[in-house]
A and B are shown apart, each in its own frame.
Chain A
Amino acid sequence: MPDKTPFARILPVVLALTPIGFLFGVLAGQADWSAWGVLAMALLGFTGSGQFTYLGFAHPDNAQMEYLAVFLIILGINLRYIPMSMSASTRIKGGAFIKAALAHWLADESYATERAPDDTRRRAVIRLSVVAFWTLSTVCGALLSGALPPAVQSLLSGMTFPISAILILLSIDNILAYLKRRGFEGGFKYRLHRQKLFATAACIAASLLCITVIGAKYFWLPAIALCYFILIRLGGDREETAHG
């Protein structure tokens, strides 16, 4: 993928993301949100999981909404962005506003698409493409929510699979890049590959354990910390990866 333009790299990702954005807009429209509200939420609230979660709590049937609890739940769901933002922002050049805006519009999909050699402009194209498609699809969903037949609305309500599929493939792509890299000495390639493979398998097991024990909402930081420790101890690598 490194020879493609940044927009060509992100295009299949945002096309697959569009039905999810449309679904959010449809559900928001059904909860009596205006298109302007959906637009503001997409641009300023920009977090797919957070938006769906808030929409669930903010349903008109939920009269006694506890905002602090909702804030803490959405914060817990999005804690994974802390290490992502730390590692992906090291290559962003420019003023504080540009850095803040690009950090705010960092998404799982853009993080997984960006590569080590990408400069600020290429990263901006990738991140802003995700924001643009997400915003457009959510607003379209809100505007068309009243006009969709019930069968289409029912079909859309179960469509989280495409976005999971994108994130799984992009994650695998990045993990394979790590597994294929040569060791820093260049002479122990086979041994280092086996080390990395073993370390990655141990990370998958650790992640599954954390989800089972802590739960899917709060496992992120402990699991990432545990996997980081495992990779440092067992992986033995010093070269650049996707966000180096």
Chain B
Amino acid sequence: MDERVIIGVALLFGVSVIVRILPAFVPFNFSARTQSNIKNILPVAIFVNLMVYCATQEIVQDAVPAVTALAVLLALFKPLGLLLSIIAATALYVLLAQV
């Protein structure tokens, strides 16, 4: 196996140890309210940032196809469900990106 690949695997595993494995073992010595907030409020804070990050990255890359496809995605999510709405929005995105 290529040396760069081996180093890359080790490097990414090291990142995973720092950001995912070690935090899973952090003992919760917080107050009951703080523990409740970490369980209940922190995920919402993460999801807001995840949503904003994904939307902005697509819009920065190719604004018109991204905004149009995201609008279609949101409109179709409820009637069509997750997979079909993603397929329809992605097809539209690819079409608009090639125009």
Q: Which of B13, B17, B45 contacts A228 (CB 8 A)?
A: B45
Are A32 and B2 neighbours in the complex by a CB distance under 8 Å? yes
Can you list, as one digit per residue, whether each of B35-59 has a CB less than 8 Å from chain A (1) or not (0)? 0111111111111111111111110
Task: Name which residue of chain B comes closest to A55, CB basis.
Answer: B8
Interface residue B94 (Cβ < 8 Å from any Cβ of A) = yes
Contact yes or no, A58 B4, CB < 8 A: yes
Known A-B contacts A164-B58, A166-B86; the reply to A12 vs B81 at CB < 8 A is yes
Cα separation A67 to B21 with both chains bound (whole Å): 22
Cβ contacts under 8 Å, A125 to chain B: none
Give chain B's interface secondary structure class: helix
> Quick check: which of A83-91, A130-138, A186-194 contacts chain B, the rest being far away?
A83-91
Instruction: Assign chain A's interface to a size class.
Output: 35 or more
Residues B12-38 near A (CB distance < 8 A)? 12-21, 23-26, 28, 33, 36-38
B residues 70-87 near A (Cβ < 8 Å) are: 70, 73-74, 77, 81-83, 85-87
Q: Are B83 and A81 in contact (CB under 8 A)?
A: no
Q: Which residues of A contact B8 (CB under 8 A)?
A: 41, 45, 54, 58
- Inter-chain CA distance A244–B40, complex, in Å, is 5
Residue of B nearest to A230 (CB): B45
> Quick check: is B11 within 8 A (CB to CB) of the other chain?
yes
Query: In the bound complex, do residue B86 and residue A169 qualify as a contact, i.e. CB atoms below 8 Å apart?
Result: yes
- What residues of B have a CB within 8 angstroms of the CB of A67 in the complex? 7, 11
**Separation in Å of the A165 CB from the closest CB of chain B?**
5
Q: Which of A15, A45, A159, A170 contacts B12 (CB 8 A)?
A: A45
A228 CB, min distance to chain B CBs, angstroms: 4
A172 to B40 alpha-carbon distance, docked (Å): 16
B48 touching A203, Cβ below 8 Å: yes
The 8 closest A-B pairs by CB, nearest first: A45-B12, A103-B24, A12-B83, A227-B45, A37-B5, A89-B24, A171-B51, A164-B54
20 A-B pairs besides A37-B2, A85-B24 with CB distance below 8 A are: A15-B83, A16-B82, A34-B5, A44-B12, A65-B4, A67-B11, A81-B23, A86-B26, A104-B17, A104-B21, A167-B54, A172-B74, A207-B49, A207-B53, A220-B53, A230-B45, A231-B45, A238-B40, A241-B40, A241-B44
User: Can you report 13 A-B residue pairs in the complex whose CB atoms are below 8 A from each other?
Assistant: A34-B2, A82-B19, A82-B20, A87-B39, A158-B62, A161-B58, A161-B89, A165-B90, A172-B74, A175-B47, A220-B53, A223-B49, A227-B45
